[in-house]
Amino acid sequence: MKFLLIEDNRELAHAIASRMRIDGHVIEHAENLEDATAFVETGEYDLILLDIMLPDGDGRVFLKKHRAGNLDTPVIILTARSQVSDRIGSLDLGADDYVTKPFDHAELEARCRAVLRRKAGKSQTIFETGGIVFDPVAGVLSVRGENVNLRNRELRLFEVLINAPRQVFSKQKLADRLFSYDEDASENAIEVYIGRLRKHLIPSDLKITTLRGMGYRLDYEG
């Protein structure tokens, strides 16, 4: 998945981003509200991790503004403020969760998973359909009972497709979800990942369809 991390503490931001990238997530990092606004206006994210005290303003102002603009991306507040009134105020402004610094990274990861499950309207994240069992959290895909070893970007690509079956994704759209702005994301790379996934899915009832000039779509055979 693709996360936006808004945090001015570079050491903490690096630690969070490194942990998330190990799990294959794409992380964009903004150190201030101006950059964060630019990211939100030009990109699409599955989750936003938002600090409150930033060099150019209060993160809650950012949250309020973008919730008023119908931004429905889940937001987890990261802050050293632990007062109950601060938590209530942030949740009332539209935050989906509130994590107090310092925090354990494993807890933050668990809260991210929980928020994303709620967003998807699911109590669990495991997909079972068409002869496959897919657990995006554990990074495991089983096809007809056989586990398949997916590389990180193959895993996230399949997660994008399985979350929106029969929806068409252009190469650019997929590149935006799989790569950060400072990474080289060529159309050839997307084609390579699609090709690998197709081979993995051959025994299943799922297939990735190419729509010429439009992109790719996950379909169910039979």
- Give residue 32's pLDDT band: very low, low, confident or very high (50, 70, 90): very high
State the pLDDT at residue 123: 47
Looking at the structure, tell me whether residues 29 and 114 fall in a common domain: yes
Looking at the structure, tell me whether residues 211 and 138 fall in a common domain: yes
- pTM value is 0.71
Beta bridge partners of 54: 57
End position of a domain, from candidates 73, 99, 120: 120
Looking at the structure, tell me whether residues 85 and 139 fall in a common domain: no
Looking at the structure, tell me whether residues 10 and 98 fall in a common domain: yes
Looking at the structure, tell me whether residues 36 and 104 fall in a common domain: yes
State the pLDDT at residue 221: 77
**What CATH number did the domain enclosing 88 receive?**
3.40.50.2300
C-alpha triplet 110, 115, 116: angle, nearest 5°: 100
Looking at the structure, tell me whether residues 111 and 33 fall in a common domain: yes
Structure confidence by residue, pLDDT tens digits, 56-71: 999 999 999 988 988 8
Mean pLDDT of the chain: 88
Q: Which residues contact 127 (CB under 8 A, 6 or more apart)?
A: 133, 134, 135, 136, 162
End position of a domain, from candidates 69, 94, 120: 120
State the pLDDT at residue 122: 54
Lowest mean pLDDT among 32-46, 64-78, 118-132: 118-132
54 sits in the region (left: phi over 0; alpha: psi -120 to 50; else beta) called beta
Looking at the structure, tell me whether residues 170 and 134 fall in a common domain: yes
Structure confidence by residue, pLDDT tens digits, 183-221: 767 788 899 999 999 999 999 999 999 999 999 999 987
Looking at the structure, tell me whether residues 39 and 104 fall in a common domain: yes
Looking at the structure, tell me whether residues 105 and 135 fall in a common domain: no
Burial of 184 (0-12, 13-18, 19+ CB in 10 A): exposed
Cα 73 from chain centroid?
A: 10
State the pLDDT at residue 222: 59
Domain range for residue 18? 2-120
End position of a domain, from candidates 95, 120, 145: 120
Looking at the structure, tell me whether residues 26 and 85 fall in a common domain: yes
**What CATH number did the domain enclosing 186 receive?**
1.10.10.10
Looking at the structure, tell me whether residues 143 and 68 fall in a common domain: no
Looking at the structure, tell me whether residues 104 and 167 fall in a common domain: no
C-alpha triplet 116, 48, 132: angle, nearest 5°: 30
Return the number of other C-beta atoms located less than 10 Å from residue 149's C-beta. 10
Split into its structural domains, the chain has a count of 2
